[in-house]
Amino acid sequence: MIFESKQMNLIFKDALAYLTFKKFDELPYIRHAFSTRLGGVSRGEFNSMNMSFNRGDIEENVTENYKRLCNAIGVSFEDLVASSQDHHTFVRRVSASEKGIGIYRPKDLQSVDGLITNESSVALVTYFADCTPLMFVDTESHAIGAAHAGWRGTVGRIGAETVRRMGEEFGTKPENLIVSIGPAINKCCYEVDEPVAEQFRKLGLNTQMFLFEKGNGKYMLDLIETNRQILITSGIPEQNIILSDVCTRCNSDLIWSHRATGGRRGGMCAIIESVN
């Protein structure tokens, strides 16, 4: 396994490995991580660090994987609250009263692709296996957000909706946000067909930077660049947007990729928490 990135760190704690953004590591009030495939107790096609409860893995194994990751990154397992993703754009405000939902308490909503909070010690969890993770940090109030941007969520501008909701709920100003995009499947590996390409044309963005025609009705799509443009139109300063340079499919020995495994897979999670 060869891992190269200018934006992310690969950190090993014994047999467990996780990723962080170097920029977020500089913020003393933020803890965050992206899980990998390494260091868990799951078996078979989920081997070994599967963070998805809905893939058919043994629940006790997934729970143990969370406890191991939390221990490694310094986040309390009891502080976790998870999304309930279905590729839409509903962004939910959560607080201490929602801790455990989707992890050790039942999910209480069926459509939550984004989470926001302004409370410390509430750790937001979102899930991925090629789709694009978005993480938001308000450098003034220390409010945070996390969103899942698959192609449908990207077309629905979930990044912009998260910015809007943080402003509505916490008074967050876009210019005070630092946002990370990825890791996700990159334009080198993400092929889509004409109907999907047409949805992206309708966004009114600079499609020449994220949609590349291959012929025969096929295109290579750059979800990271698309989300970058959406965030800029939402008022995020360009210099405040961190772009992952890690492709999930190219690094499928390290990170779960739906396309690389043909759907026989576990999932990785993103965790972010404000600690003061």
Q: Any idea which fold 8-185+243-274 has?
A: CNF1/YfiH-like putative cysteine hydrolases (3.60.140)
Closest by CA position to 81, among listed 49, 106, 46: 106
Is the torsion defined by CA of 270, 151, 153, 186 positive or negative? positive
Q: What is the DSSP string of 228-264?
A: HHHHHHTT--GGGEEE---BTTTTTTTS--HHHHTT-
- Both structure tokens of 159: 């990044």
Is the torsion defined by CA of 56, 131, 100, 22 positive or negative? positive
pLDDT at site 170? 98
Kindly state the helix (H) or strand (E) to which residue 155 belongs, with its residue range.
Answer: helix 151-155
> Chain-wide mean pLDDT for the chain?
97
Any idea what the Cα angle at residue 256 is, between residues 83 and 52, rounded to 5°?
35
2, pLDDT greater than 90: no
Closest by CA position to 94, among listed 105, 110, 80: 80
User: How many CB atoms are closer than 10 A to CB 173?
Assistant: 15
Closest by CA position to 245, among listed 255, 234, 230: 255
pLDDT digits (tens, 9 = 90+) for 27-71: 999 999 999 999 999 999 999 999 999 999 999 999 999 999 999
* Secondary structure (3-state) at 12: strand
* Secondary structure (3-state) at 46: helix
pLDDT digits (tens, 9 = 90+) for 59-76: 999 999 999 999 999 999
pLDDT digits (tens, 9 = 90+) for 92-118: 999 999 999 999 999 999 899 999 999
Over residues 124-139, the mean pLDDT reads: 98
